[in-house]
Amino acid sequence: MSNTSAAAHHAASNNRKWAIGFTSIVLVIFVLNKFILPTAPRQVVEFFNAWFSLTSLAEIMVWILMALGLNVIVGYAGLLDLGYVAFWALGGYVAGWLMSPFLSNFQISFFGNPRPGLEQGIHLNFFMVLIFGGVFTALWGIIIGGPTLRLKSDYLALVTLGFGEIIPQFMVNGGDIAGLNLTNGSQGIGGLDDIKFAGYTIGTFSLPEKFLMISMLAGAMIFFSIRLRDGRLGRAWLAIREDELAASMMGVPLWRTKFASYAIGAVGGGIGGVAFATLVGGVYADRFNFVISIIILSMVVLGGMGNVWGVVVGATVLAWVNSVGLVQFGVVVNNALGTNINFPSYQFLLFGLLLVLMMLFRREGFIPEARIRMVMNEEKLEDEEKVSDETKIAGH
Amino acid sequence: MFLIIAVAVYWLVLNLFKDPVQFASVTVNGLTNGMLYALIALGYTLVYGIIELINFAHGDLFMLGSVFSFAILTQALGATEPSAKNFVLLLLVLLLTMLFCAILNVTIERLAYRRLRNAPRLAPLITAVGMSFVLQWIGLKWVGSVPVNVPTVLPTTSFGIGGVELSFKAVAIFTVTVPLLIVLTFIVNKTRRGRAMRATAQDKDASRLMGIDVNKTISFTFAIAGAAAGAAGIMYAQTIGTVAYNLGFQLGLIAFTSAVLGGVGNLYGAVIGGIIIGLIQSYNDGLPIGPGQRWSQTMVFAILILLMVYRPGGLLGETAQEKV
């Protein structure tokens, strides 16, 4: 009894340390970009723009949202989702529909903030759109998860893969469904409203505020992830992840619990999609492809499946490498060695090898929880390698 | 379920009466595509049957097969137009490509999947996805990021039967794939190795006790699967006429859908599934009354999802319901 409470206390203080770290990093970045950089010398500004541009940092926060959403599905419940990009796309289009001049048959503004001259269309308040985005993607999670979660887990991987392909294709083709323009095709929906928050408008050029806003969303996601994990539902997820049969014997309703993880995990994608759409001011169908799903999966795997802070770190590192790291390292290496290697073209190799090597040598991720380390390295009882070794010895 | 089938049948009959000639040529087209899908689907089904792994890298193996054949036949040997000599070269490179893909597939199994045979299910799946990316990268470095046209060595002429144009390419696909499919099913069903494969698929420990070398058998399965993918690769490059690094992803998914449609783990199922998917896709793309090519992928995945809901075991397979 005292042992478990001590462990819980340890975990809580650990969380507090990480949370303080996260908050202070976000605040430092905000203050740096808002107040210090505008007055800093040119070289310093150039350095930051090349290596840590605020756009890329804000994108990292979106990736964190995504990765945490997928972490609920893959890390907590142990279900493989290979089409997570679909939720990103759906969230993005919810923002495109509900806060832009696109659906011009309507003229609704509900605490909205339409740009001058673009008052047609639906304009809802950003926070309402966040909620709608979350609900909408959760609904799609239910539609996809409902029938497939009764099947073996590899089938779920495939159906999600198919889903991740269909949705973006639908968005590309959706510019003309029997004459109805639902998604504006491959041109995408632009001209999204600025966020209005407490009487203060966060416009196109107020990037520091946008960054802060998305960081707050990511922070909320981190908070809910941790709370969910420790709650009744979270413990049920972990039980299923580790041993489905044992979990169902203990009275965990398998289907309902998996279902909850799929729907809740989808919400992360939806909120991230809305956030990303407002960050870039539009939603464009050709951005959503399979590579994105795999990058998000790599983030979860790299950081340590199931561990919230591990996933946050994994998402930060990989998103940064993917957006600026590869390019910048390429510039540095090519300048130093006089070579002409196209670093970004190694993206596929990087993420592919990362997944393979992590699975082969460090399945629990770089910042694992103690619990998943035990599970991931536990071989089955009928260990084939050992058996074949024994038979070899016996044969000699 | 019956409603869906009824609508599909009605749609086909409607098209049949509207333009019978086009219907027939579209059918031939679908059958040839379906044969290629069947060859790839066989690889999925064989591997899933024996180690219960969805080999996500299999589609990309097919892609590398097509790229390899392009590099050898077109670039190295310079066979760019139809002639008797080039036709012999084609057969030679066909064997080479099959060998190449077989070796590659066995290597992948040896390096990555074998170590994970007892790991939790998620681990080999994620590894396969990673492998798929690595193979795509190899393809990307090999042919570049844009699709490359492949000059075919097959005669481009066609002959008509009752107004239906039957191209020589379609005949070539049939003459390559049908014997291959027969040989493959013969190997699995009638030979000693095949019996070892089926035994290993059923129970690895029991097979080991019976004196079967399980590792060797699994390697052999991967070799066969790779060879089939290689054959599909070269035939695709020669008949469709393009190779691209991201070919494997799409075709792999279609082929997997075929395998699931037929019932994963069932050889005949993969062939039947491949043909059905080929037909459906071709009807969707080519018929006068139909959704058209841009919905092609969506159709295939819609089928996949519907299958999961109504008949997860496929047409010939057993039920895949999770024991609850």
Give the pLDDT confidence score for residue A395 in this predicted structure: 40
In the numeric block, which tokens belong to residue A110? 């509900």
Give the pLDDT confidence score for residue A6 in this predicted structure: 61
Nearest to B115 among A170, A254, A360 (CB): A360
Q: What is the pLDDT of residues A11-53, one digit of tens each?
A: 667 778 778 888 888 888 877 777 777 777 777 777 777 777 8
Confidence label for B227 from pLDDT (cuts 50, 70 and 90): very high
B253 close contact with A: CB closer than 8 A: yes
Cβ density class B63-86: b for 16+ within 10 Å, e for less: bbbbbbbbbbbbeebebeebeeeb
Chain A contact set for B308 (CB, 8 A): 147-148, 151, 155, 159
In a domain, A9, yes or no: no
Distance between first and last Cα of chain A: 52
pLDDT above 90: percentage of residues in chain B: 14
Chain A contact set for B116 (CB, 8 A): 359-360
Q: What is the pLDDT of residues B24-34, one digit of tens each?
A: 778 888 888 88
Taking an 8 Å cut-off on Cβ atoms, the answer to whether A159 and B205 are in contact is no
Q: Long-range contact list for B209-214, CB < 8 A, 24+ apart?
A: B214/A384, B214/A388
Burial class (CB in 10 A: 0-12, 13-18, 19+), B186: exposed
Amino acid at B78: G
Give the pLDDT confidence score for residue A4 in this predicted structure: 55
- Give whole-number Cα distances, A253 to A112, A246, A250, B299, in Å: 42, 11, 9, 34
Question: To the nearest whole angstrom, how far is the Cα of B52 from the nearest Cα of chain A?
Answer: 9
Full-prediction pTM beyond 0.80?
yes
Between CA B218 and CA B52 the distance in angstroms is 11
Give the pLDDT confidence score for residue B162 in this predicted structure: 61
Chain B contact set for A356 (CB, 8 A): 112, 127, 130-131, 134
Residue A109 reports pLDDT greater than 70? no
Q: Is-contact B218 B89, C-beta < 8 A? A: no
Q: What is the pLDDT of residues A167-221, one digit of tens each?
A: 888 888 776 666 666 777 667 777 777 776 666 666 666 778 888 888 888 888 8
* DSSP labels, A163-188: HHHHHHHHHHHTT-BTTB-SS-GGG-
In a domain, A34, yes or no: no
Q: Among positive and negative, which fits the CA dihedral B16, B22, B24, B27? A: negative
B301 close contact with A: CB closer than 8 A: yes
Mean pLDDT of chain B: 82
- The CATH number covering residue A193 comes to 1.10.3470
Taking an 8 Å cut-off on Cβ atoms, the answer to whether B126 and A355 are in contact is yes
- Token pair 């945490």 in the structure block, residue: A68
Q: What is the pLDDT of residues A110-146, one digit of tens each?
A: 666 666 666 677 777 778 888 888 999 999 888 888 7
Averaged pLDDT for residues A311-315? 88
Give the pLDDT confidence score for residue A107 in this predicted structure: 66
Compare all CA atoms of chain A with the CA of B125 and give the residue at the minimum distance: A154
Higher local confidence (pLDDT), B219 or A52 = B219
3-state SS record for chain B: CHHHHHHHHHHHHHHHHHCHHHHHHHHHHHHHHHHHHHHHHHHHHHHHHHHCCCCCCHHHHHHHHHHHHHHHHHHHCCCCCCCHHHHHHHHHHHHHHHHHHHHHHHHHHHHHHHHHCCCCCHHHHHHHHHHHHHHHHHHHHHHCCCCEECCCCCCCCEEEECCEEEEHHHHHHHHHHHHHHHHHHHHHHHCHHHHHHHHHHHCHHHHHHCCCCHHHHHHHHHHHHHHHHHHHHHHHHHHCCEECCCHHHHHHHHHHHHHHHHCCCCHHHHHHHHHHHHHHHHHHHHCCCCCCHHHHHHHHHHHHHHHHHHCCCCCCCCCCECCC
B204 close contact with A: CB closer than 8 A: yes
In a domain, A17, yes or no: no
B141 close contact with A: CB closer than 8 A: yes
Higher local confidence (pLDDT), B18 or A134 = A134
Chain A contact set for B297 (CB, 8 A): 165-166, 169
B257 close contact with A: CB closer than 8 A: yes
Between CA A282 and CA A277 the distance in angstroms is 5
In a domain, A340, yes or no: yes
Question: To the nearest whole angstrom, how far is the Cα of B169 from the nearest Cα of chain A?
Answer: 30
Q: What is the largest CA-CA distance in chain B?
A: 62
Residue A355 reports pLDDT greater than 60? yes
Tell me how crowded residue A159 is: count the other CB atoms within 10 A of its CB: 26
B294 close contact with A: CB closer than 8 A: yes
In a domain, A317, yes or no: yes
Provide the ipTM. Answer: 0.80
Between CA B255 and CA B12 the distance in angstroms is 23
Give the pLDDT confidence score for residue A113 in this predicted structure: 64
In a domain, A19, yes or no: no
The mean-pLDDT minimum among A45-59, A254-268, B47-61, B122-136 falls in A45-59
Taking an 8 Å cut-off on Cβ atoms, the answer to whether B112 and A165 are in contact is no
Nearest to A384 among B117, B129, B134 (CB): B117
Give the pLDDT confidence score for residue A179 in this predicted structure: 62
Q: Is-contact B64 B233, C-beta < 8 A? A: yes
Q: Is-contact B53 B124, C-beta < 8 A? A: yes
In a domain, A20, yes or no: no
Q: What is the pLDDT of residues A325-344, one digit of tens each?
A: 777 777 787 777 777 777 77
Higher local confidence (pLDDT), A298 or A203 = A298
pLDDT above 70: percentage of residues in chain A: 79
In a domain, A297, yes or no: yes
Q: Is-contact A314 A67, C-beta < 8 A? A: yes
H or E stretch including A202? Answer: strand A200-202
Size of interface A-B (CB pairs under 8 A): 152
Confidence label for B65 from pLDDT (cuts 50, 70 and 90): very high
Taking an 8 Å cut-off on Cβ atoms, the answer to whether B118 and A380 are in contact is yes
Please give the backbone phi and psi of residue A197, each rounded to the nearest 5 degrees, phi first: -140, 115
Give the pLDDT confidence score for residue B77 in this predicted structure: 79
Give the pLDDT confidence score for residue B250 in this predicted structure: 80
Residue B285 reports pLDDT greater than 90? no
By residue range, what is the domain housing residue A330?
A: 55-395
Give the pLDDT confidence score for residue B106 in this predicted structure: 93
The mean-pLDDT minimum among A201-205, A227-231, B46-50, B271-275 falls in A201-205
Confidence label for B202 from pLDDT (cuts 50, 70 and 90): confident
Between CA A75 and CA A252 the distance in angstroms is 18
Residue B63 reports pLDDT greater than 90? yes
pLDDT above 70: percentage of residues in chain B: 91
- Among residues B97, B105, B135, which one has the least CA distance to residue B231? B97
Domains and CATH numbers, chain B: 2-145+179-310 (1.10.3470)
H or E stretch including A318? Answer: helix A308-320
Give the pLDDT confidence score for residue A112 in this predicted structure: 64
Chain B contact set for A382 (CB, 8 A): 118, 205
Between CA B257 and CA A167 the distance in angstroms is 17
Give the pLDDT confidence score for residue B240 in this predicted structure: 82
Give B 65-104 residues with CB within 8 A of chain A: none
DSSP for residue A191: -
> What ranges in A338-383 are assigned the alpha helix state H?
347-361, 370-376
Compare all CA atoms of chain B with the CA of A80 and give the residue at the minimum distance: B122
Between CA A34 and CA A38 the distance in angstroms is 7
Beta bridge partners of A122: A100, A108
Chain A contact set for B212 (CB, 8 A): none
If one counts the domains in chain A, the total is 1
Q: What is the pLDDT of residues A48-85, one digit of tens each?
A: 777 778 888 888 889 999 999 999 998 888 888 888 99
- Among residues A80, A1, A285, A162, which one has the least CA distance to residue B297? A162
Nearest to B320 among A151, A173, A385 (CB): A151
Mean pLDDT of chain A: 78
Taking an 8 Å cut-off on Cβ atoms, the answer to whether A388 and B308 are in contact is no
Among B257, B293, B308, the strongest candidate for a mutation testing the A interface, having the largest count of A CBs within 10 A, is B308
Determine the distance from the C-alpha atom of residue B227 to the mean position of all C-alpha atoms in its chain, rounded to a whole number.
11
Residue A361 reports pLDDT greater than 70? yes
- Residues whose CB is less than 8 angstroms from the CB of residue A225 and which lie 6 or more positions away in sequence, other chains included: A68, A71, A72, A308
Nearest to A352 among B137, B249, B305 (CB): B137
Give the pLDDT confidence score for residue B108 in this predicted structure: 92
B140 close contact with A: CB closer than 8 A: yes
Among A79, A154, A249, the strongest candidate for a mutation testing the B interface, having the largest count of B CBs within 10 A, is A154
